[in-house]
Chains A and B, each alone.
Chain A
C-alpha cells in the first residue's frame, strides 16, 4: 500500500529519490542506527550521483566522528579527503563533506545575527536564563538543528544535504519546533508577561493593570517576583529579535515543506521503534511533508526463516551423536572428540532456533507495516559496529540497491 497516490514520476529507488532532492532528513527513534544510516546515505550519494554532498550529524559515536574526520570540529564542515576514501577502496564521483551540530554555538550565532545591536546581543548571551535554556535543555536542539539546516542550505554550497535528527522523546518533535518557536515569540502571554516591565522601564518597577494583576499575584506566589522579573527582562531583550526570529522560523518551516526536501524514516524491526516509525510516517503524510523512504535497519537474514535451515537445526539437535560419528571421517583434529562435536552441534542447532524466533517476529512485524513509502531499503544486521568508512560503504550498498515495494 502506498502512502500517496503513486504517479509514474515517483522515485522508486533511493538513487532516484536522492537525485530529485536537495535535502534528505533522516528520522526515527533512538538506537535504530539513524546516524550511521544517514552518513552511509551521504556516502552512497557521493558514489552514485556525484556532486557536493554534506552529512550534518547531531551526535555521532566517537569512532564514526573520527572516521569522518569531524571530531572536535564544532560547527565547521570538513571534507572527507579523497585519499582517505580511496584508501578504504571507495570510488566517489563527488565530494563528501561532514559537519556536526554544536547547539550552544548555533544559538549564539543566531542571537548575534538577529539582535538589533551588539550590546543587546551580549546582554542576552550573558543572561543566566539564556545560558540555562541553551546549554541544559534538550528541547532546544530541535529548533536549532532545523535552523542550521536552513542556514547551510541557504549558502547554496551543496548539491545534497543529508541530516540526522536529534534524539527527541518523540521522533516528530523537531517538525513542530519552528512553528512553536514562532508562536512562542508572538504569543499574547509573552506580551502580557513583559508589558508591566516595558512600561516601567527595563529595570524599573512593574505597572500592573486590572487584567494582569491576578496572574501576577499567582505567579509571584509560585515563582517569586524577582525570578519573574528576570524572566521578563530576558524576554524583553529577546523580543528585540522577534521580527527576524519569526521570519526565520517561518522560512525554516517552508523549507521543510519544500518539494526539494524529503524525509527518510529509519527503524529496526522491533515492536516499539517500528510502532514509532509507523506513527511518524502517518504524521508526515498528514502534514504534507514528503515521505521518501523507509529504512529497515539491523534486520536478521532470511536464511533464519528457511525451512531447510529449520530442518538442519532440528537434525543437529536430535541426531548430534550419529552426526558427530560421521564427522570423525573428516580426520580433522577439531572434530576428533566425538562428545565435544555433538555438544557443539546441539549448541548451534539451539542457537539457530533462538535467532529464528526473532527473525519470525521481525517478518511478522514487516508484513504488518501498513503505510510505507515507495522506497523501502533493508539493511542486514552487521556483526560488528559501523564505525569506519568500510562499514558505511557496506550500508550504502544496501541502501542504493533498495528494492521497491
Chain B
C-alpha cells in the first residue's frame, strides 16, 4: 500500500500536458525554474522539439544531449532516432557507429506500421533518465517533461503497456516492465494537466483526466489553470459599476473625462463578462475533477520569455505554499 503522495516538487518525474495553446510549455518551464529556486537540479525534456522550452529561458535550441540552459536547469530535445541508438548501445550492446542510416528508415517505417514504437523510445528515454537520477548517477533530482498534447498523451503514457500487449516475446517486451513500474509509482511520477478557463480546454481536461484514470496506470498530480482573469468587483462594487454605465452616470463621467470614458466602461464590461464566462467553466472543472487546482493569473504585460517564466513560477510557488 502506498502512503500519501508526496508534494508535487518532491516527486522525480512530472509530466505537463494539455490542449494545444493553453501554455503547457510555459508551465513546464516555470515549474523547473521554481524547483531550481528551492535548490533542486532539474532536467527539462521537450518531447515535441520546437525550441519552445529553451526560449522560455532565453536560450538557443538544444539537442538530444542535455545542456544547462539556466542555473540548475538542464534541457534536452527528444529525438527518437538518437534514443534508439542509445537504447541499442546500452541494452543490446549493439555498437552503432555514426548515423543509423537504413535502420532509421526502418524505424520510421515500423513506427508507422506499429504505432507505439516511437512512443516507447520517448517514454523509455525519459524513464531511463529518471532511474539514473534516483540511483544517484545523474546530476539532477527531478525530470520535468513538456509532454504531448491531450490528443496524444494517453498513447505516450501507455506505450510501455501497449507494446507488451502487441509483442509476445523479445527484448522489447522484457525491457518495458520496469518503465511501467516507474511510471505507476505515485512517489515518483505525476501527470499534470494544464488548462485555461475556456470551454474546450476544460472539456478536454475533464475527458483526459478520466481517460488517464481508466486507460493508463500513471498517477495524476494537479490541474493548472492558466490565464485566470482577475475579479474586478465585489458584489457591491458591481452595483456602482452598473450605476456608472447608466445614462446619467455615463453623462457625468464623459463630461469630465471625455468621450473615451465610454471606451473605459465598455472595456470593463468586456473584462467582467470574460471573467464570468471563465468562472462558469472553472466551476464545471471543480465539480468534475477531484484533483488539486492551481491558478495562474492572466498576464497582461508580457507574452513569453524568461520574464514570463519567472512571473508564472512565482504564481505557482504561491499556489503551492512555497
Contacts and interface: CB of A to CB of B under 8 A. Distances in A.
Interface residues of B, number: 80
A231 B271 CA distance: 55
A109 interface: no
Interface of B: 19-22, 48, 84, 88, 92, 94, 102-103, 105-106, 109-110, 112-117, 149, 151-152, 154-155, 162, 165-173, 198-201, 203, 232-233, 236-237, 239-244, 246, 248-249, 252-254, 256-261, 263-271, 273-274, 276-277, 300-301, 303-304
Nearest to A347: B232
Contact of A226 (B167, B263, B265): B167
Interface stretch (A37-45, A49-57, A353-361): A353-361
3 closest residue pairs by CB, A with B: A224-B170, A334-B243, A30-B20
B106 A308 contact: no
A61 B284 CA distance: 15
A301 B166 contact: no
A8 B306 CA distance: 48
A88 interface: no
B171 A309 contact: no
Given A129-B166, A301-B266, A308-B258, A335 B21 contact: no
Contacts of A234: 113
Interface stretch (A90-98, A147-155, A182-190, A396-404): A182-190
A247 B270 CA distance: 52
Given A226-B170, A344-B241, A355-B300, A327 B253 contact: yes
Contacts of A331: 248
B209 to A, nearest CB: 17
A385 B279 CA distance: 12
A334 B242 CA distance: 8
B128 to A, nearest CB: 16
Contact of B170 (A184, A215, A223): A223
Q: Give the most central of B248, B257, B267: most A CB within 10 Å.
A: B267
A283 interface: no
A169 B149 contact: yes
Contacts of A219: 106, 110
B274 A383 contact: yes
A334 B244 CA distance: 8
B166 A227 contact: yes
Given A167-B151, A234-B113, A316-B264, A311 B249 contact: no
Given A308-B258, A309-B260, A330-B249, A29 B199 contact: no
B257 A312 contact: yes
A221 B171 contact: yes
Interface string A146-171: 00000000000000000000010100
Q: Give the most central of A190, A218, A361: most B CB within 10 Å.
A: A218
A304 B166 contact: no
Interface in A165-181: 167, 169
A235 interface: yes
A225 interface: yes
Given A341-B240, A347-B232, A313 B260 contact: yes
Contacts of B253: 323, 327
Nearest to A128: B166
Interface stretch (A76-84, A130-138, A196-204, A371-379): A130-138
A241 to B, nearest CB: 15
A221 B106 contact: no
Interface stretch (A9-17, A114-122, A256-264, A266-274): A266-274
Given A227-B114, A384-B277, A335 B267 contact: no
A31 B114 contact: no
Contacts of A62: 203
A32 B200 CA distance: 11
A311 B303 contact: no
Contacts of B242: 334
A306 interface: yes
Given A169-B20, A215-B106, 4 more contacts: A31-B19, A31-B201, A335-B240, A383-B273
Contacts of B154: 136
Contact of A227 (B152, B168, B254, B277): B168
Contacts of A385: 198-199, 277
A65 B265 CA distance: 34
28 contacts: A132-B166, A137-B155, A167-B20, A167-B151, A189-B105, A219-B106, A221-B94, A221-B171, A224-B171, A225-B170, A270-B303, A309-B260, A310-B260, A311-B257, A312-B259, A312-B263, A316-B257, A327-B253, A334-B240, A335-B243, A337-B240, A344-B244, A348-B232, A348-B241, A352-B264, A355-B267, A358-B300, A383-B276
Interface string A212-247: 000100111111111100110011000000000000
B258 A312 contact: yes
Nearest to A361: B303
Nearest to A218: B103
B270 to A, nearest CB: 6
Contacts of A222: 84, 88, 92, 170-172
A355 B263 contact: no
A193 interface: yes
A309 B114 contact: no
A265 to B, nearest CB: 15
A329 interface: yes
Given A129-B166, A231-B113, A313 B264 contact: yes
Interface string A97-112: 0000000000000000
B243 A224 contact: no
A192 B269 CA distance: 66
